[in-house]
Chain A
Amino acid sequence: MNPRIGVIALQGGVSEHLQMLLNIGCKTVSVRTPQNLHGIDGLIIPGGESTVLIKLLSRWQLISPIKELAGSGTPIWGTCAGSILLSNEITEKNHKVNQPSLELAAVRAERNSFGRQASSFQEELLIKGLDNPFPGVFIRAPLLYPLSPDAEVLCSVNEGAVFIRCGNIWLSSFHPELTNDARIHRMFIEEAVIGSKPGH
């Protein structure tokens, strides 16, 4: 099976995800309109600027179709800004910020948690389900705080969680699409997309 995976293509690191998906044998769709969501088996919301992405999702009428997609069980993975948009709560410096989100995961995203760009970093990560460390790339990254037992932490750094699975919603505060390592993309496809199909 070659699943069709959509990538929200309004702003941010879109081409990197598309390339990674093509490399592991997926069909890809650049999602700019609600029509682009028809017939996809999974969706990725890329990194970018979360304040911009939420405005554009709203402007181009993508918010309710994405919520319906999530409700029907379609797997959705957000990286960095994408993980912020999927979280139920968004904070910065531990104060709630006035920014709407898709509210699809019982997670609080603490924006710009490590500081400004000079504090962006790379660190090897131990990830549940992967045998060897994964190259983590963190750029003005958020931290993710689980708000319910449904939110399963798959990876943490010293400060807190950076990779959470919440049913069919996956959130990573780092950027696997900026590496040459396709293991997390493959894990998302195999476990969330193919593994969730009836009869599998």
Chain B
Amino acid sequence: MSFIRDDGTWKVKTGHAQMLKGGVIMDVINAEQALIAQEAGAVAVMALERVPADIRTQGGVARMSDPDMIKGIQAVVTIPVMAKCRIGHFVEAQVLQALDIDFIDESEVLTPADEANHVDKWNYKVPFVCGATVLAEALRRITEGAAMIRTKGEAGTGNVVEAVRHARSVLGEIRMLQATPFEELMSIAKNMGAPYELVKYVHENGKLPVVNFAAGGIATPSDAALMMQLGLDGVFVGSGIFKSGNPAVRAKAIVEAVSQFNDPAVIAKVSAGLGEAMVGINISTIPENERMADRGW
């Protein structure tokens, strides 16, 4: 006797994100970098053509990666391979699903394709991760079907300040909702612009219904441990690794710091001798129309 098999369910989408917890997801632009990332202990790799730091300096429209490049990475690593589609670009998302990618990042790092609408993520078997700067934004993305949330931070800057700001907003608003009397939830949902059912869920459970990672500007083991101690579930590192002096060593150190994020002695040990960190950018020097965190809503 055998039972019916259901694939692409909410449970296996959110469950996959849960298995990534305590891990570091690394941006890579080719098979060679993907192998370095896997060897260093990355829990998944994000395949993209240009890391955010280069998108920032080179400008132009940033799009989904070339399928050949994605396949090249899939061929050499056994860990999950993620890839980015532009906000609202549901055909890029279809293509990524056809490529059998493990997770799609509907990302503000790429140039948005739709300024009003995000992808209807319920239409896909492959799970999505989306960025958020505040709780309401996270709840809107989850309502659209995102199985994982991350802070937006300000990608490609090597500056953790925006990721901290977004983590503090989302987690702070969760703590506030927990303490809010039940009868005020509807009015809060209305004012936040977030669905009542999810506002109620957060009030009752004190957390998002999906895993919540840090992303955008993380460059050192201490940055990563900071995000973990703030209460996030794991870390994306983009430009911070392969724009640094010694990517293999830095990648391994960040993985180790995340695995023991509450132990300063460990973080001190793994932070030594990493070579140069990526050169950072102060957020105030970035013109407002070039800030990635402001893309999407």
Binds A, one of B8-16, B84-92, B218-226: B8-16
Which of B8, B22, B256 is in CB contact (< 8 Å) with A118?
Answer: B8
**B9 — nearest CB in chain A belongs to which residue?**
A122
Task: Say if the beta carbon of B38 comes within 8 Å of chain A.
Answer: yes
Task: Say if the beta carbon of A192 comes within 8 Å of chain B.
Answer: no
A97 surroundings in chain B (CB, below 8 A) = 78
Decide if A178 touches B41 in the complex (CB within 8 Å): no
A13→B44 CA distance, assembly (Å)? 15
Which of A13, A56, A137 is in CB contact (< 8 Å) with B12?
Answer: A137
For window 109-130 of A, CB contacts with B under 8 Å fall at: 111-112, 115-126
A residues bordering B, Cβ < 8 Å? Answer: 9-16, 32, 47-49, 51-52, 55-56, 59-60, 80-81, 92, 97, 111-112, 115-126, 133, 137-140, 157-158, 175, 178
Main secondary structure of the interface of B (DSSP, over half): loop
Decide if B16 touches A12 in the complex (CB within 8 Å): no
Decide if B19 touches A139 in the complex (CB within 8 Å): yes
Which of A56, A115, A133 is in CB contact (< 8 Å) with B259?
Answer: A56
Which of B4, B12, B256, B259 is in CB contact (< 8 Å) with A120?
Answer: B12
A148→B81 CA distance, assembly (Å)? 35
Decide if B22 touches A117 in the complex (CB within 8 Å): no
Decide if A126 touches B19 in the complex (CB within 8 Å): no
CB-CB under 8 A for A139 and B15, given A60-B259, A60-B260, A124-B3: yes
A99→B111 CA distance, assembly (Å)? 39
Interface centre among A97, A120, A158 (most CB of B within 10 A): A120
| Cβ of A132 to closest chain B Cβ, rounded Å | 12
6 interchain pairs, CB-CB under 8 A: A13-B15, A48-B22, A56-B41, A92-B78, A118-B7, A122-B12
**A158 — nearest CB in chain B belongs to which residue?**
B2
A47→B260 CA distance, assembly (Å)? 18
Question: A56-B255, A138-B12 provided; 10 other pairs, C-beta below 8 A?
Answer: A10-B259, A11-B259, A48-B19, A48-B23, A49-B43, A51-B41, A52-B255, A120-B12, A133-B3, A137-B12
A120 surroundings in chain B (CB, below 8 A) = 7-8, 12, 15-16
B7 surroundings in chain A (CB, below 8 A) = 118-122
Which of B5, B79, B126, B258 is in CB contact (< 8 Å) with A123?
Answer: B5
Which of A11, A59, A137, A138 is in CB contact (< 8 Å) with B23?
Answer: A11
Binds A, one of B96-104, B133-141, B149-157, B164-172: B96-104
